[in-house]
Structure 1
Amino acid sequence: MTALEFSYSLNKMSKSLKPFALKLTKDMEEANDLLQETILKAFTNRDKFADGTNLKAWLYTIMKNTFITNYQRMVRRNTFIDTTDNLHYINSTENVTENLAYTSFALKDINEAIVNLDDAYKTPFMMHFRGFKYHEIADKLNIPIGTVKNRIHIARKELKGKLRNYAVK
Structure 2
Amino acid sequence: MSTLDFNQMLLSNAEFLRPFAVTLTRDSETAKDLFQETLYKALANKEKYNVGTNIKAWLYTIMRNIFINNYRRKAKQNTVFDNTPNDFLLDYNQATTANAAISNINMKEVNEAIYNLPEIFKNPFMLYYDGFKYHEIADMLGEPLGTIKSRIHFARKLLKAQIERY
Q: Structure 2 length normalisation: TM-score?
A: 0.49
Q: Which structure's relative contact order is higher, taking Cα pairs within 8 Å and 6+ residues apart? A: 2
Larger C-alpha radius of gyration, 1 or 2? 2
